[in-house]
Structure 1
């Protein structure tokens, strides 16, 4: 009987440790970041409530709910992380370490609703030693922060374009809306890049120079590059970049 209970316990706990991709998705803070994005989206919607005609505002809300449904976002993002990251073990090991958990905690704090509101007018300027500035420079090149930030902005803008197209059929037809958004990608990345070093200095302000160096070493390593490339693909998939709201309705995603 004890042996049977032990086997049953093994089967009950197997998914928790057998699926490294699922573990990595959770340990690296993806579900919490998606929740923070939902909070920021809700706040943005409320800012538009009094400035848009009721019908346009409702279309914006409906399209946002369709595109950014939490469960669907998580499913798309995790599926692409799984598809694009052949070996999740090195990244999982890193983010399960004390430093990795500290990094995730810092990133989650920076994107919390109250912190975004606090820094709505811009982040404070962070002074840094030459050594720390050099380490941050390495991180800025290794992390896909420019690309990820641009995709978030384009995804939200895409919902607005979809909503406008629904209210005024033919105004932005034939892929014109998506073409306009794609044309903004490089400009957005340049804007983000202009202040990226200071942003990273602020987000990772509680990491020591030694911890920053270890983080940069991971991000620049083959395993780190593989993770962050897969992470960017997962972000794009979660945000449904390049997909119209109508196509998401058709696929059920």
Structure 2
């Protein structure tokens, strides 16, 4: 009887868990960040337009639109987070706080299309006190920013390789295309790491030192680590890292 009660209670809590996960996705800015990614993807497609033969360009657009269809990205990301984040409530509570909302707003501003275009040649160098530099350094080690940045870059590059493979079977077969992309991952993370502290100083420039310290405390806590670990896994799933476009259609 007790076992049956526990099973029933488990099923009763599933809808609440799902609601909390949906709330976390919305509160933490995932839909807006996905929209910003699609904006960046569209801009990348336009850059390819005049540099590729029409057939290759159209294959790239078709593949990228299929791989990065908004509903499919959200579904993959949510499913992965559901499987990797034991409890979404602590992260939801943090991001629903005034500080959490300021953090999300700062991140969404930084990834807007106009802001990316404005800083296409690089961010301004930010001067900061030793205390603030130390806080940012802790934050750069706690957040999976370098890994996420590398995955976004590889995902966009992967579409181009995938498009060539679909047009010329065997050109990059046998996992060669994915192997080429995997070989770039560490190099990309090293490049991002070199500018990460300055990037975070810029993105969170409007947060006070006490607010940054509170952010670091959350990011380094067990709940924060669990969220950001799940977030990175969700990003990879949403971007379909390591999967060919043809496999996503199956």
Normalised to the residue count of structure 2, the TM-score between the two structures is: 0.93
Partner of 2:90: 90
Partner of 1:222: 222
Q: 1:17 to 1:236 in 2, by over 3 A?
A: closer
* Structure-1 separation of matches of 2:170 and 2:230: 36
* Structure-1 separation of matches of 2:98 and 2:145: 23
Partner of 1:7: none
Partner of 2:22: 22
2:216 partner SS: helix
Note if contact 1:91-1:227 (Cα within 8 Å) is conserved in structure 2: yes
2:249 partner SS: helix
* Structure-2 separation of matches of 1:168 and 1:120: 33
Once the two structures are superposed, the pairs formed by residues 7-156 of structure 1 within 5 Å of their partners are 19-156=19-156
Q: 1:69 to 1:130 in 2, by over 3 A?
A: same
* Structure-2 separation of matches of 1:17 and 1:101: 21
2:124 partner SS: coil
2:150 partner SS: helix
Question: How many Å apart are 1:167 and its aligned residue?
Answer: 2.2
* Structure-1 separation of matches of 2:71 and 2:168: 30
Structure 1 residue 208 corresponds to structure 2 residue 219: no
Question: How many Å apart are 1:18 and its aligned residue?
Answer: 6.6
Q: 1:208 to 1:244 in 2, by over 3 A?
A: same
* Structure-2 separation of matches of 1:84 and 1:22: 15
Structure 1 residue 247 corresponds to structure 2 residue 244: no
Partner deviation per Cα, 1:113-160 (whole Å, 9 max, x = no partner): 000000000000000100000000000000000000000011111100
Question: How many Å apart are 1:203 and its aligned residue?
Answer: 0.3
* Structure-2 separation of matches of 1:33 and 1:18: 20
Q: Does 116-125 or 165-174 show the bigger shift?
A: 165-174
Note if contact 1:16-1:23 (Cα within 8 Å) is conserved in structure 2: no
Q: CA RMSD in A?
A: 1.1
Note if contact 2:142-2:220 (Cα within 8 Å) is conserved in structure 1: yes
Segments of structure 1 that go 5 or more residues without pairing to the other structure are 1-14
1:224 partner SS: helix
Question: How many Å apart are 1:190 and its aligned residue?
Answer: 0.3
Q: Does 165-174 or 145-154 show the bigger shift?
A: 165-174
Number of residue equivalences:
236
Partner of 1:196: 196
Partner of 2:8: none
Note if contact 1:81-1:230 (Cα within 8 Å) is conserved in structure 2: yes
Question: How many Å apart are 1:19 and its aligned residue?
Answer: 1.3
